[in-house]
Amino acid sequence: RKEVEQDPGPFNVPEGATVAFNCTYSNSASQSFFWYRQDCRKEPKLLMSVYSSGNEDGRFTAQLNRASQYISLLIRDSKLSDSATYLCGSSWGKLQFGAGTQVVVTP
Amino acid sequence: DTAVSQTPKYLVTQMGNDKSIKCEQNLGHDTMYWYKQDSKKFLKIMFSYNNKELIINETVPNRFSPKSPDKAHLNLHINSLELGDSAVYFCASSPQGDRGYTFGSGTRLTVV
């Protein structure tokens, strides 16, 4: 079983809609959690850290559920430029990633 | 000013050759990493160095040898390249504590 698991998608989202997806992690010792965005053939870029209390950055909201060992990302008012693969990261001294969730925003 | 830079960006080589990839960061971070992203897009950690000292060595064939001459540089040497080594190799760095990593733009290695 992989340490971090994500639904690969794709999630096809009309422009302006809301999309949400989760990732689960298996190591209960994980301390830090992140969402990264990766565009085709580019490096992953940090989108946001995920805090226990949940956090928001503009149209993006991240939540952490330690009891069920999952984190979530919600994107409101989707833009065409949000089309990308979203990587979930879980860290306990080393950052492990899920395989990514592909989001395709359509006009 | 590129924060984490890798060279070369592309590398095409024949099976059995030896090649090196270089990485440099100017962020003042203490820890550097090598990740491999294969054709299925799964990004997997290979090595980590903290201030020139190896701290993470995942189950990577010993044909792969990282070297860190100083905390701003981390190189990866690969001996006897195999077809399965074809992937994108990303260098990353991070500050102290469990904070987000900054990635280089990747080296696309193709072994033919």
pLDDT tens for each residue of A29-76: 888 999 999 999 899 999 999 988 889 999 999 999 999 999 999 999
Choose among A93, A87, A88: nearest CA to A29: A93
Closest residue, chain A, to B100 (C-alpha): A46
pLDDT digit string, tens, across residues B5-34: 999 999 999 999 999 999 999 999 999 999
E strand map for B29-86: 31-37, 43-50, 53-57, 64-70, 73-78
Residue B1 CB-density burial (10 A; 0-12 exposed, 13-18 middle, 19+ buried)? exposed
Contact (CB<8Å) B99/A49:
yes
Query: A-B interface: how many C-beta pairs under 8 angstroms?
Result: 44
Contact (CB<8Å) A95/B101:
yes
